[in-house]
Structures are given as C-alpha cells and as structure tokens.
Amino acid sequence: MKTEPEECSIDDFANSPKSTIMWDGVRNYQARNFMRQMQVGDTVLIYHSSCKDIGIAGIVDVTQSAFDDPAQFDPNSDYYDPKSTVDTPRWSAIRLSFSKKFQQILSLQDIKANSLMPESPLTQKGSRLSVMPVTDEEFSAVVSYIRKKIC
DNA sequence: GCCAACGTTGGC
DNA sequence: GCCAACGTTGGC
C-alpha cells in the first residue's frame, strides 16, 4: 500500500504499536477491490511515495477487513463522495496495525535494480495503483534483500 | 516544478 | 458508447 509519509508513514504505526490505523480515502476502484480481498492477518508492505526517501518502509498487518469508509459520507471530509449513500456505499476502508519498520528504506531504485518485484505495478512506468497485491515470491525477495542489506 | 501516464467526467 | 478534456499521481 502506497502512502505519502507526510499523511501517514510507517512511523505513525511504529509510534502507536498497540493501536490500529484506519486506512481510508482510497478512491480508485481497482485499489478498492484489492482492499476488499484483504483478510485479517494478511501482511502488508508500506510504501512511501511522493517524498524524499521513496520506497518500502516497513510491514503492517490487517486487523479488520473491508468495511464502509465513513469518510465517503462526511461532507466535511476531503474524501467525501456525494454519490455515495449509506444504502449504496462505494468505498471501503480497512484497519492496520504496526508490525515492523525497516532500519532503512528499501528504495525504489534498489527494488528495480535487483528485480525484487519485476512484475508488480509498483515498478511499472505510469502505474498509479495505490493498493496492489504482492506475491509470496516478491515478499520473500523484499524481506531477504532488506535483511542482507542491514547486516 | 515538470510532465508523462493514467482514471474519470460529461457532452454528444 | 465514444472520446476529448480535465484533474491527479508520482518519479524525476
């Protein structure tokens, strides 16, 4: 899952390890559909975008599967969607909790240079998908690369 | 700040 | 249903 760290970063999770953070505001159907597939206990890579240190910053866990994103009903929210009603909601949110923060960001450069996620939309030009699946293979590649790099 | 790539909107 | 125009994303 992508996030701008100024809005929500891995540190926001790390600083409140026992609480959960609601992941709301996703307003793209493809991303939403991927969120709806996520189950409690699933592992999520957190990617910092549009910032100085671009890349994967750590790991969080799903603590609640998809529910109606309350922001879509709130006229005062940036994420308000006038076309959503309680009867016909469009958007979903999930809840996440802290798992791990990488000791250093696994940069997009490194991800590309070492082909850690060659098939992923993440490494493909022009992809704007903010929630995307990660294969077991990609996850293993990411974790073993960051271990090696830190040691 | 630039700009390519993308998704959405809305007139027809 | 098409597609031009528009707004947004996000790396550089």
Which of the nucleotides in strand B have any atom less than 7 Å away from a protein CB atom?
4-8
Tokens of A64: 């609640």
Residue type, A125: K
Which residue is associated with the tokens 């990660």?
Answer: A134
* Residue A116 CA, nucleotide C12 C1', distance (Å): 21
Strand, helix or coil for residue A46:
strand
Report pLDDT digits (tens) over A4-53: 999 999 999 999 999 999 999 999 999 999 999 999 999 999 999 999 99
Report pLDDT digits (tens) over A124-149: 999 999 999 999 999 999 999 999 98
Strand, helix or coil for residue A91:
coil
| CB of A109 lies under 7 Å from some atom of strand C | yes
Q: Which residues contact A45 (CB under 8 A, 6 or more apart)?
A: A1, A56, A58, A59, A134, A139, A142
* Residue A18 CA, nucleotide C10 C1', distance (Å): 31
Give the Cα separation of A35 and A26 in Å (integer). 9
| CB of A2 lies under 7 Å from some atom of strand C | yes
Per-residue confidence (pLDDT) for residue A150, from 0 to 100: 79
